[in-house]
Amino acid sequence: MIVKHYTDIPAKPVAMTGTLDVTVREVITPRTGAPNFSMRIFEVASGGHTSLHEHGYEHEILILEGRGEVTEGQRIHELQPGSTVYIKPGTPHQFRNPHDTMLRFVCLIPNPEVSRL
Per residue in 23-74, pLDDT (tens digit) is 999 999 999 999 999 999 999 999 999 999 999 999 999 999 999 999 997 8
Is residue 107 in a domain?
yes
Per residue in 65-101, pLDDT (tens digit) is 999 999 997 899 999 999 999 999 999 999 999 999 9
Is residue 27 in a domain?
no
Which residues, 6+ apart, have CB-to-CB distance to 112 below 8 Å? none
Is residue 100 in a domain?
yes
Q: What's this model's pTM, rounded to 2 decimal places? A: 0.93
CATH number of the domain encompassing residue 51: 2.60.120.10
Among residues 107, 108, 110, 111, the one annotated as catalytic is 107
Residue 62 has, within 13 A of its CA and on its CB side, a CA count of 7
CB 63 within 8 A of CB 97: no
27 included as an active-site residue: no
The parent domain of residue 85 ranges over 35-115
